[in-house]
Amino acid sequence: MEKMLDMCKDYFDQTEEEKLKCGGEHVLAPIRSGTSFNASVEKVFFWRDFLKVWVHPQFHSPPTPAGFSEISLEYCKRTRQVARELIKGISESLGLEECYIDKAMDLESCFQILIANLYPPCPQPELAMGMPPHSDHGLLTLLTQNETDGLQLNHNGKWVNVHALPNTFLVNTGDHLEILSNGKYKSVVHRAVVNNKATRISLAMAHGPNLEKAVTPVTELVDNENNPPLYHGIKYKEYLELQQSNQLSGKSILNHVRI
């Protein structure tokens, strides 16, 4: 985790030219680097730089800094194992077979994406936001950060600061877990605030179904009398494209598939 966070810092420390070299323009480009969330549709930018890299089922990596791809490959493999193991427990907690979700979502070919976020010190942090309130699109996101806090979770309508301990993962539930569990698990709404003292770097590993899957609530968790299905099925890749090409706003994309 430490090495990977150091690599992210080295990535952001590069010149703008070096960072631009590796980035595609399209929201579904496997490597993207930029400022804010989606600068082409936003009127006001967020106080954030990012690097987004698709790392599974195909592994991609920015060519620089040196060593990034080796450490990232290892980190992605290990975090993927953790996520799949957690999903087995979640599957059992829903009264399903341990491997039910793993098989149904084809997690052997799961979509895994590395998102590195850089939040530099901001002179007037009360006037800026690092990342607006949103829920993540996939199943589980494993988040880690350098020693600076900034993540807030929405709990019963209030923003709660998350103080992350070193060498731990914060695990966020995503929209596709809410969809497949027919609302038994809710995706968590979170945001990132900024401060005027220290640079914050966070690293989110997002894990979703196979990109070709159209996920609907699991049949075992639905019955038309007491538990009607709450969400339509939509191909995960389309869901991702919708989220990435619009302004990031709460659970707006999940609301789009709500019945």
Closest-by-Cβ residue to Ni ion is 136
Q: Work out how close the CB of 34 gets to Ni ion at its nearest, in angstroms, rounded to a whole number.
A: 16
Restricted to residues 123-142, the positions that interact with ligand OGA (CB under 6 A) are 131, 136
Restricted to residues 148-207, the positions that interact with ligand OGA (CB under 6 A) are 150-151, 190, 192, 202, 204
Gyration radius of the chain's alpha carbons: 18
Q: Work out how close the CB of 150 gets to ligand OGA at its nearest, in angstroms, rounded to a whole number.
A: 6
Binding of residue 115 to ligand OGA (CB under 6 A):
yes
Calpha distance 193→214 (Å, rounded): 33
Q: List the Cα angle 102/53/116 in 5-degree steps.
A: 100
Restricted to residues 118-137, the positions that interact with Ni ion (CB under 5 A) are 136
Residue closer to Ni ion, measured from CB, 28 or 171: 171
Instruction: Evaluate whether 33 touches 20 at the Cβ level (below 8 Å).
Output: yes
- Give the chain's length: 259
Residue closer to Ni ion, measured from CB, 136 or 175: 136
Residue closer to Ni ion, measured from CB, 52 or 213: 52
# binding residues, Ni ion (CB under 5 A):
1
For residue 45, what are the contacts with CB-CB under 8 A and spacing of at least 6?
A: 35, 36, 39
Cβ atoms < 10 Å from Cβ of 37? 20
Residue closer to ligand OGA, measured from CB, 150 or 209: 150
Instruction: Evaluate whether 79 touches 100 at the Cβ level (below 8 Å).
Output: no
List residues binding ligand OGA (CB under 6 A). 115, 117, 131, 136, 150-151, 190, 192, 202, 204
